[in-house]
Amino acid sequence: MFSKKRRELIKTHSVSKKSRTGNSSPHGSATLSILQEQPRKDGSDASSSSSSASSSTPCSLVLPAVEGQSCPGTPSATHGKLVGCPSPGGTLKRPTTLSRNASAAGSPLQSWVFSKGQGRAAIAHSPHTETVEAPAAIEVEDIPPLLHAVARFAEAVEKLKDVVLEDKQENRRPLAHECLGEVLRILRQIINMYPLLNTVETLTAAGKLISQVKGFHYEVCNESDKKDFEKAIETIAVAFSNNVSELLMGEVDSSTLLSVLPTEKSKSMENLYRISGMETSHDSSELAMRAEEVDILLQRSEGGVDSALAYAKTISKYMKDLIGYVEKRISFEVEFSKGLQRLYQTCKQTITQPHMPFFSIYSLALEQDLEQSAVIQQAANTLQCQTFVQPLMQRKQEHEKKRKELKEQWLKARRKLLESEGNLRRAKQVYVARYEEYEKAKTAANRAEEEGSSSTAKAVDKKKRLEEEARNKAEEAEATYRVCVADATQQQQELEHTKVTVLRQIQEVIKQSESPR
């Protein structure tokens, strides 16, 4: 699909220019007047884009040349038929086998569909034609920018194809997704400039290409994936080339359009993307605020760390359950493939007898069963060893190891605090007891001094000595109590710091477990 040369594009350009200069019928001007205004570049941009489109490397996207010159008095190929006006010539139909089911593309642009009123009105105005054609003209000044955009799109598609099919390159997945984003961005720009290219076939092909790029197994060399990807590339090339060719020839089929008519007021694709981007950013900001609120709530809560650790443990159990489910499913598929192989070996001799009715059909069915069995076993091996079970098991082990380390760190900090609090309680009890003993000894010494006339000096000295000993013990108990208070305060602060650190690390562990790799 990428073999046509740029001279066909130039030929199309020249034919359109001749038709525009040689035909001044009101039919053509009326048709051109109802077209949607296209964003035009200035003269220098148009000339530079035309020269770049003609001098660049041969683009791989086909734009079939305009066939057949217009005779005098016949509307040129550069403008389309008016709605309700029968065509002077036969309507050219594009050869396509693509499905016209818009939902197959998986595109969010379903809001661009024609309204039922528009469809009924278009059919009512053209009772003599089987296919309702939309006004699909393009001005000569708009052809060079279109060709330049087509060349850019072709280069982006070729780059995507080279990246995906290059086996020796490492880390192809992120690079392939980046190239896919560039292809879709250029396609969106082209559709934004030329809404009549926004057809079911193009978006269906784009949806298939997206699914193939995202589902491609980059880690293993799979020939079926390569064939499906090449088929998706060919499909989008055919669809896009046909749409561009029909736009240049003015033969756009309105039944395949997803965009509204140029005269209708509707949201442009930029508005849709802007609204989507605003909603996405709003949702992400809300999620970020919720995450911060959850962090603050867990930090202030007494059992915040325990709740976070319990959630991390739940994630670990969930991964274990997923691994068990996939392993059982793989075992069922492997048993099914082995059953197909046994069935093939059993029925091969009896069914594949020559000169029997439908011999080729049943032989082909047997071969397909054998091939399906091999594909199932290969897919099971890939899931088991490369893409799912082993990577998820490794992630689960890393998650569980980190979770246990954080749990041990938290429990160690709590044990230190509990130990310091126990020391503080015991020191307080000793301090209170020593202080009471000191008060009793002090009271006894004062009473002995007051009764000094009746008691001997030796007894008074003994009372004072006991008072001094009690005071020393009380001071020692007080000092010990103060040390325990300081230690408990420090352990409490360290526990709070550990709490914040552990919560942050648990959040990182959960993010790593939930994020795709």
Domains of the chain in start order, with CATH, are: 142-249 (1.20.120), 292-325+389-448+459-516 (1.20.1270.60)
CB atoms within 10 A of CB 336: 15
229-260 exposure pattern, b = at least 16 Cβ within 10 A, e = fewer: beebbebbbbbbbbbbbbbbbbbbbbebbbbb
Full-model pTM: 0.43
Question: Do 91 and 29 meet the contact criterion of CB atoms below 8 Å apart?
Answer: no
Q: Check residue 266 and give its pLDDT.
A: 41
- Measure the CA–CA gap between 233 and 230, rounded to whole angstroms: 5
CA distances from 204 to 89, 154, 190, 253, 434 (A): 30, 18, 16, 16, 89
Of 332, 371, 492, 338, give the one whose Cα is nearest residue 424.
492
| pLDDT in single tens digits along all 517 residues of the chain | 444 434 454 444 444 444 444 444 333 333 333 333 333 334 344 344 434 433 443 334 433 333 333 333 333 433 333 333 333 333 333 333 333 333 333 333 333 333 333 333 333 344 344 444 444 457 777 788 888 889 999 999 999 988 888 876 667 788 888 899 999 999 988 888 888 888 888 888 888 899 888 888 877 777 888 888 899 999 999 988 888 888 888 776 665 565 444 444 344 444 544 544 554 555 555 555 576 777 788 778 888 889 899 999 999 999 999 999 999 999 999 999 999 999 999 888 888 777 888 888 888 888 899 999 999 999 999 888 888 898 899 999 999 999 999 999 999 999 999 999 999 999 999 999 999 988 988 888 888 777 765 557 777 788 888 888 888 989 999 999 999 999 999 999 999 999 989 998 998 898 888 876 6
Which position has the token pair 């020796």?
A: 168
At CA 196, angle to CA 252 and CA 189, rounded to 5?
A: 145
Q: What is the pLDDT of residues 121-132, one digit of tens each?
A: 333 344 344 444
